[in-house]
Structure 1
C-alpha cells in the first residue's frame, strides 16, 4: 500500500510531461530559425516519432543531417563518440559526381528502403545532375544506385532540386528544375514533372514542363519544386530569383510562391498572389526565405525553408542559411504560411 502514492505520482507526472510535449510540438514553430547554423535547402522527414532534416553540403558532409524529437529543439547529427565530427548521410558519392556541390537532398520511403534524391556535380559535364541513393535507415549511409545520373538535362543546363512525390493512388513522381541559368545554357528555367517506376529508382515516360520563370518577381529562374495534394487538386510550391543576399541589397530577392495544378503533371497555373513568402524586416526578419518543404506532424502541416542569417537590425550576419519552420494553413486551396506576429 505504501507504493500506491508513488505509482500515482509517477503516472500523473508521465501524463503531465506527455501533455507538455504535445503542446510544444503544436505551438512552437512560428517561422523563426530553429537551427542557427548553416543548413541550406532543408527537407524534413518524419519517421518513428522523430524528425530528421537533410541539407545541402555543409560542415564537411555531403549530406548533413539534423534531428528533433519535438520540432522545438534541433541538433546536428554527429558521429558517435566524436561530437565534433558531423554525420554524413551519404559519405560516398557516385563515380560520376565530384565533392563539394551536393545539393538539396530529399528522402522518400519506398517499401523497406529510404531513397535519397540528391543533386551533385557531374565530373565530365561541368553541370549539376540528379542521382538516387538507398538505405534501410533514414540516417544512412545512403548508397548511390546506377553508374549514371538518374536525370540530367544536358542541353538545358543540367538538372537540380529533385522532389519525390507519392500520389494517393501510389504512383510516384519526380519533380526537378532544368538549370537554364547555368552559363553553359543561358536559357529559360522550367520546373518539370515525370513519373517514376514503382521502386523509385528510374523515370518512366517523358517529362512535362509545369512552371517557368515568366513573372517579374521570379527574375531569371524558378527552382526548388515541392508538390502537395489538396483534395482533387495539386499545389506546387517553388522558389525563384537570385538566392543570394548581395551586400548592396537591403534584403534578398529570393522568395517563394506556388502554382495550382489539375493533375500531378499539369497543367499548372501560377498564383496571382505570388510570392506568398518573401523577405521582410518586421515582425520577423527574413531575408531570402526559400526552398520550401512541407511535412505533417501532430495532425497538422508545417513548411520548412531556409533564410539568411541576420543580425537584430536585419542586416547580414555571415554566409549561412538557417533552418526555419512555420505552420502551413489553408484557406480552401490557398496556402497560408503562419509567421510570428501575423
Structure 2
C-alpha cells in the first residue's frame, strides 16, 4: 500500500496524474520536456516542474543521478539524466527505512561514490526514540540503489540541539572524507550551527570530534542556516549554505570561505549570491556539479507567489556558476532560454 508522506516542514507531497498533466510532466517513462522551443541546444528552467526539494546529483559514467526530499510516496526519489536538463523518474533509492526510523519525514538525501560498486547515501529521517530528525546512512552497489541502512541507530541525532538534518558528504583533494550537517535548532528555538566531522574510510562511522563552522548571524539569514555543502575551487574551500525560512521569498543561498574542512570559515560580504527575482522565489538548498569544466548549481525554488504550495511545490532549477576573481557568481534564477550544459 502506498503510504502518505508528510513533506519537509509540513508541506504535503502527493503527486497525482492530473497534476502531472497540468504541469506538463510525464509519469516517469519519458524525460521531462525542458528544451526551449525547437532549439535542442537550449533549455528553460525549471528543469523539473514537479516537487523536487533539496536536490543533489552525482555522475556515474554518462548518467547523472539526482536525489531529493520525499515526495509521491517515495522515501528518496531518484531521477536520471544524460545532460542535467532532461530528467526521468527512476523510483525510490531507499524503499525501506531502518527499524529505528519512522516514515514520512525523509529529507535532503545526498550520495557519494566510494568505489566502482560502492555508494553511500546520507539522509535525514525521523528518529523514533529521540522524536527528532536524525541523520542515517545507507549503502548500495549501484548509484540508483536500492540503498540499505542496516545500522542499529542513527549516525547523528543531536536531539538536545533540535535534531540533525541536511547531511552532505565531501571528498577533499587529500583523499579525506568529511560530513557536513546542521543541528535543527530552529525546531526548538535555539541556534542553528553548520557542523563538520571526518568520516572513516568506509563512510559508515564518524572519526574524532565534530566542529562548529558557522551559524545564523546576518539579517538576510533570518533565524537559521541550513543545507551546507563544500566545493573546492582553485584550492579554495567554499562552504555554501541556504538561510531563512524555506517557505518564504526571503530564502536564499550564500557561501563562506574556509581554511580547512574544520574551519575557520568567513562568510562572503556579497551574500546572498542567489535570491528571489521575478522568475523564481525562495531559491536555495543547492548542490554543485561540474560538467565539461563548467560549474552548475542545482537548487529548488517556488513559482513566484506560490511559496509553500503543494502543487507544483519546489521545482528543480539549474544555473551556471562562473568564478570572478575567485568568487562564485550565480547566473540565476534564470527563467529565460539558455544554452544547455
Q: Which residue of 46, 52, 63 maps to 1:33?
A: 46
Tell me whether 1:330 sits opposite 2:323 in the alignment.
yes
- What aligned pairs does 1:14-33 form with structure 2 within 5 A after superposition? 28=42, 32-33=45-46
Tell me whether 1:102 sits opposite 2:106 in the alignment.
yes
Q: Which residue of 89, 93, 97 maps to 1:93?
A: 97
Deviation at 1:256, TM superposition (A): 0.4
Q: Which residue of 206, 209, 212 maps to 1:209?
A: 212
The answer as to whether partners of 1:45 and 1:51 remain within 8 angstroms in 2 is: yes
Structure-2 separation of matches of 1:331 and 1:163: 26
Q: Which residue of 233, 236, 240 maps to 1:237?
A: 240
Deviation at 1:71, TM superposition (A): 2.1
The answer as to whether partners of 1:40 and 1:321 remain within 8 angstroms in 2 is: yes
Tell me whether 1:142 sits opposite 2:142 in the alignment.
no
Write out per-residue CA displacement over residues 200-240 of structure 1, whole angstroms, 9 at most, x where no aligned residue.
11101111111100111111100000101123321011000
Tell me whether 1:159 sits opposite 2:164 in the alignment.
yes
Structure-2 separation of matches of 1:291 and 1:255: 8
Q: Which TM-score applies when normalising by structure 2?
A: 0.83
Change (3 A) 1:148 1:279: same
Deviation at 1:333, TM superposition (A): 2.3
Tell me whether 1:191 sits opposite 2:191 in the alignment.
no
Structure-2 separation of matches of 1:231 and 1:266: 17
Structure 1 gap ranges (5+): 1-23, 78-86, 246-251
Write out per-residue CA displacement over residues 3-44 of structure 1, whole angstroms, 9 at most, x where no aligned residue.
xxxxxxxxxxxxxxxxxxxxx99x6467x2101011110011
Write out per-residue CA displacement over residues 30-87 of structure 1, whole angstroms, 9 at most, x where no aligned residue.
7x2101011110011111101111010000000011111122211222xxxxxxxxx1
- What aligned pairs does 1:1-342 form with structure 2 within 5 A after superposition? 28=42, 32-77=45-90, 87-111=91-115, 112-183=117-188, 186-245=189-248, 252-281=249-278, 285-308=279-302, 310=303, 314-316=304-306, 318-319=309-310, 320-339=313-332, 340=334
Structure-1 separation of matches of 2:43 and 2:238: 22
Residue aligning to 1:12: none
Structure 2 gap ranges (5+): 1-38
Q: How many correspondences in the alignment? A: 293
Residue aligning to 1:7: none
Structure-2 separation of matches of 1:124 and 1:261: 35
Structure-2 separation of matches of 1:324 and 1:62: 21
The answer as to whether partners of 1:28 and 1:72 remain within 8 angstroms in 2 is: no
Residue aligning to 1:84: none
The 3-state SS of whatever aligns with 1:274 is coil
The 3-state SS of whatever aligns with 2:299 is strand
Deviation at 1:174, TM superposition (A): 0.2
Deviation at 1:286, TM superposition (A): 1.1
Q: Which has the larger radius of gyration?
A: 1
Q: Which moved more, 1:258-267 or 1:328-337?
A: 328-337
Structure-1 separation of matches of 2:254 and 2:209: 26
Structure-1 separation of matches of 2:203 and 2:255: 25
The answer as to whether partners of 1:29 and 1:327 remain within 8 angstroms in 2 is: no
Structure-2 separation of matches of 1:236 and 1:301: 15
Structure-1 separation of matches of 2:150 and 2:109: 15
Q: Which TM-score applies when normalising by structure 1?
A: 0.82
Structure-2 separation of matches of 1:244 and 1:315: 11
